[in-house]
Each structure stands twice: as structure tokens, then as C-alpha cells.
Amino acid sequence: MTRRQLLRMIGLGAGSAAMYQAMSSLGFAAESNYRGPVSLSGAPKGSSVLILGAGIAGMVAAYELRKAGYKVQVLEYNARAGGRNWSLRGGDRYTELGGASQECRFDPGLYINPGPWRLPYHHRGILSYCKLLGVPLEAFVQVNNNAWLHNSQAFDGKPQRFRAVKADYHGHVAELLAKATQGSRLDALVSHEDQEKLLASLRDWGALDKNYAYVKGGLSNSRRGYERDPGGGLGGRPVFSEPLRLHDLLDSGLWGALPLGDDYDMQTTLFQPVGGMGMIGQAFARELGPLIRYNARVVDIHQDEHGVRATFEDATAPGSRQGAVADWCVCTIPLSILGQIPMNVGAPMAEAIAAVPYAPAVKIGLQFKRRFWEEDEQIYGGISYTDLPIGVIGYPSTGYHGSGKGVLLGGYVWGLDAMEFTAMTPQQRVAKAVEYGSRIHPQYPAEFDNGVAVAWHRSPFTMGCFGMWTEAARARHYDNLCRFDGRIVLAGEHASYIPAWQEGAVTSALDAIGRLHQRAVAGGSVA
């Protein structure tokens, strides 16, 4: 079970407050400790640093160390920078482990983010580099009240509008609490004056009528929506919709998705780079230029008292091996890959690397012939949630009212479902996403054009989505993972208390190079 699944279960059973407490204890919703640019003054003349991996952590480290005067070189496995900061667009080709290759056939301007797809407002580190590098941002819509909530076992499998479930749940709960308040059942807990204020607030919060009842009518429909919306002229009279019964609503479990937008990491405002998340990686790559050596697959890392040497193969010339040397090494290679590379570090770091498994996840991008979710259903951005294996359908937060084709996130698959999807061919994953999605959007079969599917356990440069710390593993191994071993220090989202987020990569890199600088200035004696 992934932490996301665990947290969702906690949220279903105990609400968002309990879920946030669990997220904090797991280090999943910790606030970023970014406090501004790192200060690295007085770099020893001629000091050099080898950085392994041109993901966000590696490029942040390279940017700051170069600025401080260090001689920097970066080795990157892929032919591009960014790592999991990645956007697939038309013309891109991606080959996964096992040899299955996909060519993205999206129309110009359309894309899917196989990795990160949103930036919380409080992730100040990654946002600061967006500003520094001139990466324009736009709002990412997390919660859309007009999106769908779907349980295949409830309401005959018919999806319900997010706003209707939210309004009905709040309305029924408000009515129950109002009855308890009026029945003097809260006398021991709430003063009479406060009870009157509570009743007034419940009427407003739950859209209750004058009798404190949640019923069909103008008040409830102002929240949940109408059967027929009000309009002008003779046919403008609205038709009220019928609220879901409390029993049916509770049985459906759809209320479990209501607090997701209240999670600390998902609260408004969220952002996305204009043109795709990969724009951040591209901006760093332009800034660092020739410092990055692409198509370099590291096969051995060796250190001694004089420095660090990484042996790598050039992917464009298979079988050829070269070496890169430096005084220090910042290694940002995902632990799932690093654990397979010979590296002479001590047992504490080696055991820490081996202690962190990586989450399975699959992301599927689907291009459709038209933006039917906007034209037919008035869904502009946001996310629909389902109990089907695809988990979610994400609607683009850009390009509204576009007259051409459009791309949806057709699935963000986790846990055992992700392992099942990973075992499929990319074409089968796409077909399954269309099949499942058609239960929510019947337009799918007629409007589908093409798709791509990235299974992260088959990604040759990560073999997983993100590091999955347990509390026990973090208590035993986390500090050993982050500490220097000789001349080598690790960085990345896996070396942070903000796993799975780019902010974790940024803050981890800044911490690592800050300690590296201290050691370099002190001649290597600082722990």
C-alpha cells in the first residue's frame, strides 16, 4: 500500500484533519524549509564538483555551485535534462525497459506531464527558480465543483457532480447537527448564545431552509445545481434537482474525495509552467549549457582521499567507457538505480540506499478530437475521481475553448493497479484507460484520437515514481542517507521530508551543497 492510498483511507474514515496529521507524521505534507538563495562565499580556488543526474536536484546544485566559483560537470543518463520533470509532446519518442517504444502523436501545443504536474504556492524553492529562470506560470485547477465523483458500485455506476456530493453531504450533516442543537443535546458543550450562532452558521453552511432542513428547493440548488438552469424568457423557469438521500450518499463513499482539495499540498493556489512542467528542466538546461554531458550512463563510482571518479558509458557509442573526476560528488541518481551501481561507500549509506523502495505509478495521456469535457459538460480544469483503476481524470488548466483537439490525463494509476498496468503493453494501457474512462465520459470511444502511457517502474532512469519511506526506515536510515560519506553526498526528493515533490529535490540539493561548501572551505574536515 502506498502512502497516498493509506492517507486516502485515513481521509475516508476520519476526515481531512486526521489525514493532515498522518501526512505530517509521514513527512508527506511538511512545509518547505526554503528560506531564500543559498550563500556559498569563498569557494576554494580550483575546487571541482561532479554532479550525477541532471534532474531538478542536480541542476539546482550545478547552478549554485557554478555561481559560487566551483568547476562543475554534470553527467545525465537521458538525452535531455529534467529527469522526472518532463513533458511529452508530439514527435517525442520514449522507450521503456523491455524495449516497448512509443512515439507521442499529440497535436502541436498539446502535452502530458508523466511526472510532476503541479506546484503548490508554499513550495517557495522551486517557484523561486521558476522566477529566476524566467519560466512563466499559470494557475492549476485542483478542485472543480463541476467535475465528477464516481463509484462504480453506487448510483447504478452513474457519476455525480462534485458540487452535488459536496452540497448534499454538507447539507445533511448541517441538518443533523442543527437537530442535535435544537434538541438541547449540546447544552453541556455549547452555551445557549453560541448555540444560536451555531444554528445560524449551519443554515448558511448547509443551505438549510427556515426549518433547518436540507430539502429540494432554491437554497439547496444554489449549491448543488439545478435539474434545468434558470434562464430568460418563457422557458427560463428553473427546475430544481433532487438531493441525494443521506443513506445513499454515505454508502457511496464519494464524500471521501471532498477534503482532497483541502490537503496542505493541494490548497489554492497551485501553479503549472506555461507549456508543460518540462519547461523548468529546459530552462535549467539552457542556463547550464555545456556543463551537462548527456547520454552518460554511470556504471561505477569510486572515491579516495584525493577525489571522486565516475565511470560512464556513452549511450550514443555503446561499449565505450569514459571517466569524469572531481574533488567532490553530489549524486542525485534515484536510489532504485543507484543501488545497482558499484560505489565504495560505507555500510550506513549503502544500507540506507537499499532501504527505500520506489512507488509504482502509471500516467496515461489521451488526445481527443475535441474538448468535449468543456463543450458538452462545462468542465474547465480540475480532476474527476473514480474507484476504477485509472483513479482520476485530469482536465487541462489551459487552452480553454480551443477549437482543435485536446489532451486529458486519462489515468494516474497507483499501487497494485499500477503493477497490473505496468505488466501491459503501452497500447493496452491506453486502451484500458479509454475503456474505464468511457464509464464516466461516454464520449470517449467516438472522440478518442491517440495516447501515450508511462509506467514508472519501466522507466530506465528511475525504475519507480518516487522514494517510499516508512517511519521505521526513516528513523533508522534517513540521516545516514543524507550525511557525507567521504567526498560523496546524496541529494534528491528521496533525501527530503517532501518526497514526490520537486520542492524536496530543491531543498535537498541546497542542503547538500551548503554542507559540501563547508567541507571544501575547511579542507574536508566538516561532517
pLDDT in tens, 464-485: 999 999 999 999 999 999 999 9
Q: What is the pLDDT of residue 187?
A: 84
Q: What is the mean pLDDT of residues 24-49?
A: 77
pLDDT in tens, 178-209: 999 998 888 888 898 999 999 999 999 999 99
Task: Tell me the C-alpha distance between 482 and 503, whole Å.
Answer: 16
Structure confidence at residue 8 as a pLDDT band (50, 70, 90): low
pLDDT in tens, 217-275: 999 999 999 999 999 999 999 999 999 999 999 999 999 999 989 998 999 999 999 99
- Residues 6 or more apart whose CB falls under 8 angstroms from that of 248 comprise 154, 155
Q: What is the pLDDT of residue 19?
A: 43
The CA-based dihedral angle spanning residues 513, 516, 518, 522, taken in that order and rounded to the nearest 10 degrees: -160
Q: What is the pLDDT of residue 16?
A: 39
Q: Look at domain 160-252 and name its CATH class.
A: mainly alpha
Contact predicate 313/321, CB 8 Å: yes
pLDDT in tens, 267-310: 999 999 999 999 999 999 999 999 999 999 999 999 999 999 99
Contact predicate 488/329, CB 8 Å: yes
pLDDT in tens, 53-90: 999 999 999 999 999 999 999 999 999 999 999 999 99
Please state the pTM of the whole predicted model: 0.92
Task: Tell me the C-alpha distance between 156 and 395, whole Å.
Answer: 24
pLDDT in tens, 425-455: 999 999 999 999 999 999 999 999 999 999 9
DSSP letters, 235-283, are T---BPPPPPPHHHHHHH-GGGGGGGGGSGGG-S-EEEETT-THHHHHH
Q: What is the pLDDT of residue 509?
A: 98
Q: What is the pLDDT of residue 33?
A: 82
Q: Does residue 24 register a pLDDT over 90?
A: no
Contact predicate 505/51, CB 8 Å: no
- Domain ranges, ordered by start, for the chain: 1-30, 40-83+278-356+469-521, 88-146+268-276+359-458, 160-252
The CA-based dihedral angle spanning residues 365, 371, 374, 380, taken in that order and rounded to the nearest 10 degrees: 40
3-state secondary structure of 214: coil
**Percentage with pLDDT > 90 across the chain:** 87
Q: What is the mean pLDDT of residues 315-323?
A: 90
DSSP tag of 438: T
Mean pLDDT over the full length of the chain: 93
Place of cell 516508512: 470
pLDDT in tens, 139-186: 999 999 999 999 999 999 999 999 999 999 999 999 999 999 998 888
Q: Quickly name the fold that domain 88-146+268-276+359-458 has.
A: Polyamine Oxidase; Chain A, domain 2 (3.90.660)
DSSP tag of 107: P
| CATH 2.40.50.140 assigned to 40-83+278-356+469-521 | no
- Residues 6 or more apart whose CB falls under 8 angstroms from that of 176 comprise none
